[in-house]
Chain A
């Protein structure tokens, strides 16, 4: 049993806190100070394995008239290639389509744990996973820009916008701040905070229901309303999950496009 389920059985700790995100570890079993192998780790492995196995199976024996699995795999890849990579990066963007597809699916599968019954926490609600994904995207878009223009011209392209000379002293620090510091930070924090806030919302309404049930006879019936809200918010979370996976991918594509663009 996990921390959340245990909490429900004993007296309800309300409001939920950051501590609720640290699930007890699996090896060594049940300890709270070891974070090397937890349920979160297993979830990430399972989602990575699911994606790999699915795509390997779907493409093991490709047919001209696709089977169902092949059709799903092809539409996932085709969607990212056509409506993200090619739309935003032009025909040369096809070479980024494999990375963008992997990114989208990995984030999507990891986010889906957030509403998966009995698990209901996303690995992305720990900043480490979004931060590393953002780091990969950051390295890629800078590498692409530096490879295309060389270091000095890339910096000049991305830092000096076409503007009158007297505003440049203000613009260059702002451009540097926004392109090289805020971009990776906001990419990571956006995904993290969405998953974090989503899990927190579900916790507030679930635990709030139990808290009201335990409080007094007058509040007890209202707890049903709280649990109905949990169901409604789960549906909202489903929307947020898909949207954030898409947004992360689109922003990565847009940053690559910005690094590759000739003009600012």
Chain B
């Protein structure tokens, strides 16, 4: 007995799930930056490069999701 059937591509759902983690991660990075800058405004410029490095590294995970979606598209 079939309860539910799905037709077409599930890639969008998969990518939506994959974007949760990086979304939370990027949010945490900027939350920490805002908090640290609010506590010690003069450190803002010093920590900014690290914010972008952290942001880029975390964001890469979400972007791998886009890339691998196309790489593995022919697999199934």
Q: Which of B55, B64, B66, B67 contacts A247 (CB 8 A)?
A: B55
Task: Tell me the bound Cα distance from A52 to B63 in angstroms.
Answer: 32
Q: Which of B49, B55, B60, B64 contacts A84 (CB 8 A)?
A: B49
Chain B contacts for A246, CB-based, 8 A:
52
Number of interface residues of A (CB under 8 A): 19
Q: Are A250 and B64 closer than 8 Å at their CB atoms?
A: no
Contact A250/B52 with A18-B70, A193-B66, A193-B67 known, Cβ cut-off 8 Å = yes
Task: Tell me the bound Cα distance from A243 to B63 in angstroms.
Answer: 15
Contact A254/B60 with A18-B70, A197-B66 known, Cβ cut-off 8 Å = no
B53 at interface, CB cutoff 8 A? yes
List CB contacts (< 8 Å) of B10-27 with chain A. Answer: none
B34 at interface, CB cutoff 8 A? no
Query: Which listed segment binds B: A6-14, A35-43, A167-175, A184-192?
Result: A184-192
Give chain B's interface residue range (CB within 8 Å of chain A).
10 to 19
Instruction: For the complex formed, measure the closest distance between the CB of A199 and the CB atoms of chain B, giving whole angstroms.
Output: 12
Task: Tell me the bound Cα distance from A164 to B47 in angstroms.
Answer: 30
A196 at interface, CB cutoff 8 A? yes
B57 at interface, CB cutoff 8 A? yes
A229 at interface, CB cutoff 8 A? no
B28 at interface, CB cutoff 8 A? no
Q: Are A194 and B63 closer than 8 Å at their CB atoms?
A: yes
Instruction: For the complex formed, measure the closest distance between the CB of A81 and the CB atoms of chain B, giving whole angstroms.
Output: 14
B56 at interface, CB cutoff 8 A? yes
Q: Which of B49, B57, B63 contacts A193 (CB 8 A)?
A: B63
Query: Which A residue sits closest to B49, measured CB to CB?
Result: A250
Query: Which B residue sits closest to A246, measured CB to CB?
Result: B52
Q: Are A250 and B66 closer than 8 Å at their CB atoms?
A: no
Chain B contacts for A193, CB-based, 8 A:
63-64, 66-67
Task: Tell me the bound Cα distance from A88 to B48 in angstroms.
Answer: 11
Q: Which of A18, A84, A88, A190 contacts B56 (CB 8 A)?
A: A190
A262 at interface, CB cutoff 8 A? no
> 1/0 per position for A104-139, CB-CB distance to B under 8 A?
000000000000000000000000000000000000
Binding site for B on A (CB under 8 A): 18, 83-84, 87-88, 186, 189-190, 192-194, 196-197, 243, 246-247, 250-251, 254
Binding site for A on B (CB under 8 A): 49, 52-53, 55-57, 59-60, 63-64, 66-67, 70
Not counting A193-B64, A193-B67, A251-B53, a sample of 19 additional A-B residue pairs whose C-beta atoms are within 8 angstroms of each other reads A83-B49, A84-B49, A186-B60, A189-B60, A189-B63, A189-B64, A189-B67, A190-B56, A192-B67, A194-B63, A196-B66, A197-B63, A243-B52, A246-B52, A247-B52, A247-B53, A247-B55, A247-B56, A250-B53
